[in-house]
């Protein structure tokens, strides 16, 4: 499997973000990936619940949903749609939708862990004021491998990733809009830890740069990490793409040589 990461700097203009994503996916498709992964809130990264709710879509309706379906078919890839705001009844969710190369929806994951942080004397993030958490552990198949779903703040909760490994995940995707301040210290450390403990290829795909009229910033540094914890591909401090191949034989050897799954007690 070859995986392409799409690193964006989404803003409050949904149409412009969709256009940007389409251009970057077309660029990445030239490298003939099997799986293309967008970042969290790729269709709109706004300034507060009202703006984000206005961007919400009731699946299968909506411009972002239709665009993802079209891109998957056009480029003959499996498209892991980062996340967008989904509306169902009166509830909103931070949702990943995955499409196969025929444009069929094959997976839907609603972010479990919501980022509610109040830093004394600093910024406040209250994701629960905008969306409701999901409760399903989700995997899907791509190019003969099992891919597990997670989103951003989920990375701090290793129980989810153990559950994905238990469901047979060979690759775990984590689209994110990780904040700049926490990202500098925790992004790579946590991503490498999740790869090492699950012995999977871990793909962390982030937003980069400022948004919300410059009031907030994302760390970027999208990366593919192998099952030994090595960063094998990374996007720099810019909008762009990068790709990497999943070495299934290497993953098999890692699991054979350090059989942590067989030694679990709890």
What are the tens digits of pLDDT across the range 137-150? Answer: 999 999 999 999 99
pLDDT given for residue 99 in this prediction: 99
Structure tokens at 128: 């629960």
pLDDT given for residue 147 in this prediction: 98
Angle subtended by helix axes 63-75 and 14-29, to nearest 10: 10
**pLDDT reading at 153 higher than 80:** yes
**Is residue 190 within 8 Å of 154, Cβ to Cβ?**
no
- How far apart CA 24 and CA 17 sit, in angstroms, is 11
pLDDT given for residue 119 in this prediction: 67
Domain layout of the chain by residue ranges: 2-257
pLDDT bucket at 85, cuts 50 / 70 / 90: very high
**pLDDT reading at 123 higher than 70:** no
Which pTM does this prediction carry?
0.96
Structure tokens at 126: 């209250």
What are the tens digits of pLDDT across the range 216-262? Answer: 899 999 999 999 999 999 999 999 999 999 999 999 999 999 999 99
Q: Domain 2-257 has what CATH class?
A: alpha beta
**pLDDT reading at 75 higher than 70:** yes
What are the tens digits of pLDDT across the range 1-47? Answer: 999 999 999 999 999 999 999 999 999 999 999 999 999 999 999 88
pLDDT given for residue 10 in this prediction: 98
By percentage, how much of the chain surpasses pLDDT 70?
98
- Residue 215 to residues 48, 123, 124, 176, 221, Cα–Cα distance (Å): 11, 10, 12, 18, 20
By percentage, how much of the chain surpasses pLDDT 90?
91
Which residues are catalytic, by number?
Answer: 40, 111, 152
Lowest mean pLDDT among 117-121, 176-180, 211-215, 241-245: 117-121
Q: Calculate the average pLDDT of the chain.
A: 96
Lowest mean pLDDT among 63-67, 173-177, 212-216: 212-216
H runs (alpha helix) in 43-187: 49-54, 63-75, 158-166, 180-182
- How far apart CA 62 and CA 218 sit, in angstroms, is 26
């Amino acid at each position: 499997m070859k995986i392409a990461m799409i690193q964006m700097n989404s803003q409050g203009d949904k149409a412009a973000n969709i256009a940007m994503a389409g251009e970057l996916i077309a660029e990445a498709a030239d490298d003939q990936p099997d799986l293309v992964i967008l970042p969290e809130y790729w269709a709109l990264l706004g300034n507060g619940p009202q703006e984000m709710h206005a961007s919400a879509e009731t699946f299968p309706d909506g411009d972002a949903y239709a665009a993802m379906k079209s891109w998957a078919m056009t480029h003959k890839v499996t498209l892991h749609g980062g996340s967008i705001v989904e509306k169902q009844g009166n509830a909103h969710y931070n949702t990943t939708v995955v499409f196969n190369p025929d444009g069929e929806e094959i997976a839907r994951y609603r972010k479990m862990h919501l980022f509610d942080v109040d830093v004394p004397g600093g910024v406040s993030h209250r994701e629960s004021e905008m969306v409701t958490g999901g409760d399903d552990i989700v995997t899907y198949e791509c190019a003969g491998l099992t891919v597990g779903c997670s989103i951003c703040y989920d990375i701090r909760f290793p129980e989810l990733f153990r559950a994905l490994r238990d469901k047979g995940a060979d690759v775990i995707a984590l689209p994110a809009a990780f904040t700049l301040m926490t990202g500098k210290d925790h992004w790579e450390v946590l991503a490498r830890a999740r790869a090492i403990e699950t012995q999977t290829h871990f793909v962390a795909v982030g937003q980069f740069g400022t948004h919300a009229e410059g009031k907030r910033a994302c760390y970027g540094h999208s990366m593919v990490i192998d099952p030994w914890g090595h960063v094998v591909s990374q996007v720099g401090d810019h909008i762009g793409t990068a790709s990497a191949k999943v070495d299934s034989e290497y993953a098999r050897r890692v699991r054979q040589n350090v059989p942590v799954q067989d030694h679990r007690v709890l």
